[in-house]
Every structure is written in C-alpha cells, then in structure tokens.
Amino acid sequence: MNLALNARDAMPDGGQLTFSLTTLTLAPGQTPPLPDLGPGRWGCLTVSDSGAGIAPEHLAHIFEPFFTTKGPGKGSGLGLAQVYGIVKQHDGAIDVSSKPGAGAAFTIYLPHVNTPALAEAQGSTVATLPSGTETILLVEDNVATREAIGESLAGLGYRVFSAATGAEALALFDAQGQGIDLVLSDLVMPEMGGLELFRRLRAQAPALKMLIMTGHAPEGDIYGDLRQAGIPWLQKPFAIADLAARLRTLLDR
C-alpha cells in the first residue's frame, strides 16, 4: 500500500501504476540480483510507475526513516522505511531502479515456503483470545493502523484512548490521570518517538506499563535502548492474537 501511495504521489497528472508477480529460482553458485538472496525459489513483486522518477543522489537514502523529497505536509518519510522493515522481517530483500523523468520500479523478493495443507476445520473450535477491561492508551501516527488496532482492542473488551502523536498522548495521559493501565505506542513517529514518550510518561508515573510496536528490523542502537529501559516490543505486522497475549502478560504482572 505504501508503494502504491508513493507511486500515486509521483504521478500528480496521472500515469500508469503496474503490479507484476513472478518467480525467481536461484541455483547454488548462481549470482543473485541482490547479495541477500540465496539459492532457492523467490517470489518477486514489482510495483512500478510512470512518474517523475528518483534523483540518483536520493536513491541511497530512500529507505531511511524520515527521509523524504516531498514538500512540507506531504509526507513523513516513513512509508519506504516501513516497507523495508516488513520485507526484512520476512527474510526478504528489496531493490529499486529509477531514472529522473522515467518512473520508478520497486522489486520485493520474498522466499517461497512449503506450507502443509490446513487440516479440516469441521468440528473444531476457535480459541478465545485473551481479553480484558483495562484502559489502554494507543499511540500510532498512521491513521489506518491506529483505527484497526483500536477497534481490535475494543473488541477484546478494553477501554481505548487513541493519540496520533506523542504530544497528544501526553495531553491524554494528563487528562486521564492514573486511569491509564498500559500505553501501546509505535516506536518511530515524527517529533516524539515511542522511547522518548516512555521516558516522559515514566517521569510522571514510574510504575506505568508500556508495549512498543515497530515495523523496523530489530537492529541498531535504539533496540539496545529499549532493552536497557526494560520496554517490551512487538514486531509489525503482528496477529491480533499475539497482541492480545502480550497485553495480558504485561497487565497481569
């Protein structure tokens, strides 16, 4: 979705958006199109557009968080960083080719997996997800993600307050006093990230519980900071069952 939205923005006067899906089989010793690809079968999803293209000096930076060539208010620079994180989380790789004025093409490589056929579900029962009645402060700058998670939490019985930014979260926390049982926050957000929000909330409420969500690969100093602060995190994208279980584990401590 992020790749499609970027393609749309690159074609303000219209153009052609193309999705193609192919399979790549690499034999042992064969030179792969990207160094991260090993022998085996790979699914290749290419999203291309006929827009303005990407300047050569920008190509090396487009997957960096907050890097954007769009004007003020037109983009946060997180879309491609999220794409990169999701692809890496699934043991894949991503490549881009572009020339100014000739559009851009992003190719995602994902490894094929052998999945056993699903067992017959007749007569089976669906496990009940862990639920609760506590109050959760949800902090997520992506509107669609925030609404989806908020609806899921409400469906599990939780009372949910939602904030789009760290500043909004602080204001909500001040207004609700000690009524917040847990803060569920995205890690990377404009102006104030989840780690800084945690520090500022903990200064007010030292016993406050928090769970971080992130779509970035678990690498770099920021994850060391999370470990040092003792903040648990959940990798995006996640199943609601996983979120429900993590929340109950934290809230029951």
- Phi-psi domain of 153 (left: phi exceeds 0; alpha: psi -120 through 50; beta: other): alpha
Are the C-beta atoms of 194 and 139 separated by less than 8 Å?
A: yes
pLDDT reported for residue 227? 77
Paired with 77 in beta bridges are none
Same domain for 33 and 90? yes
The mean pLDDT of 134-159, rounded to a whole number, is 93
The position carrying tokens 């060539």 is 69
Question: What's the domain range around 174?
Answer: 135-251
Q: Above pLDDT 90, what percent of the chain?
A: 46
Residue 245, CB half-sphere, CA atoms under 13 Å: how many?
Answer: 8
11-63 pLDDT tens trace = 989 999 999 999 999 999 899 999 889 999 999 999 999 998 888 878 777 87
Same domain for 142 and 247? yes
Residue 64 counted as domain residue: yes
Residue 206 counted as domain residue: yes
Q: How many domains does the chain have?
A: 2
189-208 pLDDT tens trace = 888 988 899 989 989 888 89
Instruction: Name the strands in the sheet holding 93-98, side by side, starting at the edge strand that comes first in the sequence.
Output: 17-26, 40-49, 104-111, 93-98
Residue 26 counted as domain residue: yes
The mean pLDDT of 241-247, rounded to a whole number, is 94
- Phi-psi domain of 184 (left: phi exceeds 0; alpha: psi -120 through 50; beta: other): beta
**Bigger pLDDT: 139 or 100?**
139
Residue 66: which pLDDT band, with cuts at 50, 70 and 90? low
The CATH number covering residue 86 comes to 3.30.565.10
Q: Which of 98, 118, 115 is nearest to 49 (CA)?
A: 98
Q: Is the pLDDT of residue 125 over 50?
A: no
Range with the poorest average pLDDT among 21-25, 30-34, 73-77, 219-223? 73-77
Q: Is the pLDDT of residue 124 over 60?
A: no
Same domain for 196 and 228? yes
Same domain for 68 and 159? no
Range with the poorest average pLDDT among 111-115, 164-168, 184-188? 111-115
The mean pLDDT of 110-133, rounded to a whole number, is 65
The position carrying tokens 């000690």 is 178
Helices (H), the chain: 2-9, 56-59, 79-89, 143-155, 166-176, 194-204, 221-229, 240-251
